């Protein structure tokens, strides 16, 4: 007998979706919101760039915590995230489902997805329930910002750092970036950010 764990229905659903990119792309508007984080995570790890870009465009949470996947960053999947952000920046009206406000490149250990996809700045908050809809902003163009950590940018992302900095520089009027160093946890939960201009 094998001691291998039996996959859950959610894991089987995600595997099935990742096998058929065209089907997945056509289903994103109707995809249950709870499948977005694990599907994005696996698509990013597998470097399925069409799915990654389209999921950024449809991201139903205020924060995309990409820093927790930093060990899987490659040129193509990182580019797909930035392409999705570019698509949103250039739209007057956003897709109805998209609530993305923050691309968080702060490294946080695994499990960050479960706790953080419903917060506005990438840190836990009691202000809003994660799945609560905001009818005043639904479908309207929203502002985007990037949170990044110096140590992450210059060590882990060293191969992509110059490209990313150039991307930020070209969009500094539309996408503010806040860099911060490693700071104590109590300071991380307040806004200890340096504005990149």
| Per-residue pLDDT reduced to its tens digit, 59-100 | 999 999 888 888 888 888 989 999 999 999 888 888 888 999
Task: Say whether pLDDT at 173 is over 90.
Answer: no
CB 112 within 8 A of CB 68: yes
Mean pLDDT for the stretch of residues 130-157: 61
- Strand arrangement, sheet containing 145-149: 63-64, 102-105, 145-149, 177-180, 194-196
Q: What spatial distance separates the first Cα and last Cα of the chain, rounded to whole Å?
A: 60
Closest CA to 103 of 44, 50, 34: 44
Residues 157/73, Cβ–Cβ less than 8 Å: yes
pLDDT reported for residue 14: 92
pTM exceeds cut of 0.75: no
Q: What is the pLDDT of residue 140?
A: 53
Q: Tokens 């930035």 identify what position?
A: 82
- Do residues 84 and 43 touch, judged by C-beta distance below 8 A? no
d(CA 111, CA 115): 7
| Phi, psi values for residue 99, rounded to 5° | -125, 10
How many whole angstroms separate alpha carbon 7 and alpha carbon 139?
36
Question: Which residue from 61, 87, 195 is spatially nearest to 141, judged by alpha carbons?
Answer: 87
Beta strands, E only, 70-168? 102-105, 145-149
Q: Which of 61, 64, 54, 7 is nearest to 26 (CA)?
A: 54
Give the confidence band of 3 by pLDDT, cuts at 50, 70, 90.
Answer: low
pLDDT digits (tens, 9 = 90+) for 16-29: 999 999 999 999 98
Spatial separation of the C-alpha atoms in residues 197 and 176, rounded to whole Å: 8
149 has pLDDT over 60: yes
Find the range with the poorest average confidence among 43-47, 80-84, 163-167: 163-167
CB 141 within 8 A of CB 101: no
Residue tagged 């764990």 (tokens): 5
Within 8 A by CB and 6+ apart from 127, the residues are 120
Contact assessment for residue 29 and residue 45, using Cβ atoms and an 8 Å cutoff: no
């Amino acid at each position: 007998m094998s001691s291998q764990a039996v996959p859950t229905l959610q894991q089987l659903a995600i595997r099935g979706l990742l096998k058929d990119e065209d089907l997945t792309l056509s289903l994103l508007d109707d995809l249950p919101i709870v499948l977005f984080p694990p599907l994005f995570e696996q698509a990013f790890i597998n470097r399925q760039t069409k799915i990654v870009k389209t999921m950024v465009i449809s991201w139903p949470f205020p924060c995309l915590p990409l820093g927790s996947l930093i060990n899987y960053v490659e040129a193509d999947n990182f580019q797909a995230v930035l392409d999705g952000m570019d698509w949103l920046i250039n739209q007057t009206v956003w897709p109805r489902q998209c609530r993305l406000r923050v691309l968080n490149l702060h490294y946080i250990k695994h499990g960050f997805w479960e706790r953080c996809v419903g917060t506005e700045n990438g840190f836990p908050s009691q202000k809003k329930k994660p799945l609560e809809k905001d009818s005043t902003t639904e479908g309207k163009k929203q502002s985007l910002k990037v949170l990044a950590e110096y140590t992450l940018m210059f060590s882990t992302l060293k191969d992509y750092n110059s490209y990313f900095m150039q991307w930020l520089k070209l969009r500094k009027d539309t996408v503010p970036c806040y860099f911060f160093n490693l700071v104590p946890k109590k300071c991380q939960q307040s806004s200890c950010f340096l504005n990149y201009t």
